[in-house]
Structure 1
Amino acid sequence: MNRLIVFVLFIVMYFGLSEACAKNVVEIHNNLGPGQRLQSHCRYSIGAEKHDLGISYIKNGAYDEYSFPDEYSRTDRLVRVCTLRHGPNWMYHFEHLIVYRAARTRRCGQYRAWYAKPDGIYTREDRALPNGFALKWAKK
């Protein structure tokens, strides 16, 4: 009987500890106003390994969404960076905005939203809370 209890306990612990981790989500929103497009160029890296997600153009009122698992090791962490631009000749910009950085330990279901508005970039980490001012646009 004791062996059966130990076996069942082992099975429960194995499946309980290996439960799937919900993906993390990053959203880039365009709230610049009618007729204004937002250029978004996002990249990510894990240590020396780098990936380019390309340039996208987001219409006013729309957003781009990236969902991904939290990848990390003891020495290398996932970092997602975006360059945002808008205005005539992409005059207003913010270079190398860190939209997500993994922690030293695994985190599941993280949410990051970035909102491009005429006066700057706003952010929030909880869908239930309002967004707050984060950064001012740089001008060429």
Structure 2
Amino acid sequence: MKRDLKCLLNSTGKVQEFFLRTPCTSLVMRLYAVGDGHGNAAVLSVAWIGFRTKKDAVAFERVEQVQDNGDVTPLGGALLGLAGFRFTGHHYHARPRGRTMVIGEADTATGRFDAEELDALAEVVAYFPKP
């Protein structure tokens, strides 16, 4: 059985407990920065989490979608030169893609974005193609 330990090492709380019982087969994460040219910038995170079965992916979504249940820890903003940046977990979109669960998150890095804009960015990044 293929198991990717990156899921365990990059998760917290009940999400990490889920990975102990139901291992993932792959974890690919990317981080992006977008701006509007007027001083407003957002950081976007996307994670593709592979599972052995579609049923495992759906079960994972039920655990991961609960606020404060833990998380697959997004890559840090330091990778983009944004020391101290952290995702709040409030602007999030998950979607199943076969045996993969895709999770997009977005948060403000500088300036201002309203909640609707950040939610839309999280949804869009969840549709980025897997590298």
Regarding TM over 0.5, the answer is: no
Taking structure 1 as the reference length, what is the TM-score of the superposition?
A: 0.30
Higher helix share: 2
Higher strand share: 1
Structure possessing the higher radius of gyration over alpha carbons = 1
